[in-house]
Amino acid sequence: MTTDQDLPLDSQAVPATFVSKGIDITPKKDQGVIKVVKRQGQNGDRPMIGDKVTVHYTGRLLTGKTFDSSRERKESFSFNVGKGQVLKAWDIGVLSMQRGEVSMLLCKPEYAYGCAGNPDKIPPNSTVIFEMELLNFEGELLTDDGGIMRRIKVRGDGFVSPNDGATVHVHLEGKCDGQLFDCRDVSFSVGEGEDKSIPLGVDRAMDKMQKGECCVLLLQPKYGFGSEGQPEFKIGPDKELEYEVTLKDFQRAQESWEMDLKEKLDLSPGVKHKGNQYFKNGHYYQAVVQYQRIIRGWRWSAEVASSSTKG
């Protein structure tokens, strides 16, 4: 732990001081971001990828000149960490911090403003210093009502996610009141997780995940097993659940625009029947997913036919 008085104002001496007093927190260990802790944070967990974090920060050149400060504006700043919304140095630095921690980050140009710098503020190829305070963090909300919160433990590969009807292969670990009640490898179709005793919240999170991703989902009762509970797992009514989900692999469902007329005709009766069954059993979200698959398919066909007629 150090203070501002421990850091020299001489721009030539600053990097050496950071190297001697700090730690390299870059994944590549190329000294792109070196961290010196000014104030220890609270013991506990750290932010995970995608968490909404709130920080105060002050950015300075090696000369000591301030070029940006949330403190001067008296307004904290929030962003989803690890999502590329901010400088690379910020993503790396904040993911290493605890709530309440204050740290200094020495950031090489490739982790900050690059070869271009920032006009009128930061010269090209500048190494800069950020003082960061992590005020708070919380998981990423996947629904408007806050019923599904995601915290990503391991980032997935690529940018493609499962779609409605996709076959997903997952590993699940479900907990209620801290007790493990569900641990299995299972495959299911997105929108039909109910058939495999998979809570609605896990099903709904699938289209936000990438292959290889491991995340923790915190589910409010309506996205868990609801007011009925789940006798199979000895889960009572209106229980909050925590699920750790690993998306091992998936095969996307064929989109409506990829099908010919015969394929749509063959698919529709089964999908409609499935939707009706869900509706009768009170599983309205799952029913809507099935009905929408039909509507999207025939709407696209109608649009294509209309365009052909106009042509």
Using alpha carbons, select from 252, 173, 273, 242 the residue that is nearest to residue 206.
252
Cα–Cα nearest to 169, from 229, 124, 211, 215: 211
The class (CATH top level) of 4-138 is alpha beta
Any idea what the Cα angle at residue 109 is, between residues 103 and 114, rounded to 5°? 130
Q: Output the pLDDT for position 7.
A: 54
Question: CA 19 to CA 36: how far, in whole Å?
Answer: 9
What is the reported pLDDT for 61?
95
Give the pLDDT score at 273.
Answer: 60
From first to last of the 311 residues of the chain, give the pLDDT tens digit. Answer: 554 545 545 567 788 889 899 999 999 999 999 999 999 999 888 999 999 999 999 999 999 999 999 999 999 999 999 999 999 999 999 999 999 999 999 999 999 999 999 988 999 999 999 999 999 999 999 999 999 999 999 999 988 999 988 999 999 999 999 999 999 999 999 988 988 999 999 999 999 999 999 999 999 999 999 999 999 999 999 999 999 999 999 999 876 655 556 665 555 666 566 667 667 777 666 666 666 655 555 454 444 445 544 55
Q: pTM of the entire structure?
A: 0.74
Task: State the pLDDT at residue 152.
Answer: 95
Question: What percent of the chain is helix, strand and coil (3-state, nearest 5)?
Answer: 30, 30, 35
Residue type, 229: G
Per-residue pLDDT, 302: 45
Q: What pLDDT is attached to residue 82? A: 94
Distance between CA atoms of 46 and 95, rounded to whole angstroms? Answer: 7
Looking at residue 260, what is its pLDDT? 59
Q: Where are the domains of the chain?
A: 4-138, 141-251, 256-306
The enclosing H or E element of 296 equals helix 284-310
Q: Assess if CATH 3.10.20.30 describes domain 141-251.
A: no
pLDDT of residue 276: 75
Residue at 134: amino acid letter? L
* pLDDT at site 158: 87
